[in-house]
Amino acid sequence: MISPKEKAVELFDKFMKPIDELHKYPMCFSTAKQCALIAVDEVLKYSKAHGFIGLTEYYEEVKKEIQNI
């Protein structure tokens, strides 16, 4: 498993550099960060609802790392 910091960077990069074949819609830094945080919040909501303690702890760390980007 990759570290929470590596996962945070991976998620952020996916939103920062979306596949846009026309290269007309670059994502701004703050929007990419917000999108990554929303994605992590969705994982956290699911993992908490289903009692996945290890996954919840991991994604809490990922969230902190995204906030530090």
Residue 58 to residue 53: CA distance in whole angstroms: 9
Give 4-61 pLDDT, tens digit per residue: 999 999 999 988 877 666 666 667 889 889 999 999 999 999 999 999 999 999 999 9
> pLDDT value at position 25?
66
Among 6, 7, 29, 3, smallest CA distance to 17 is for 29
Q: pTM for this one?
A: 0.86
**pLDDT the model gives residue 26:** 67
Where in the chain are the domains?
A: 4-67
| pLDDT of the residue at 23 | 67
CA 5, CA 9: separation in Å to the nearest integer?
Answer: 6
Give pLDDT, residue 29: 87
Per-residue tokens: 66: 């995204």
Report the SS3 class of residue 52: coil
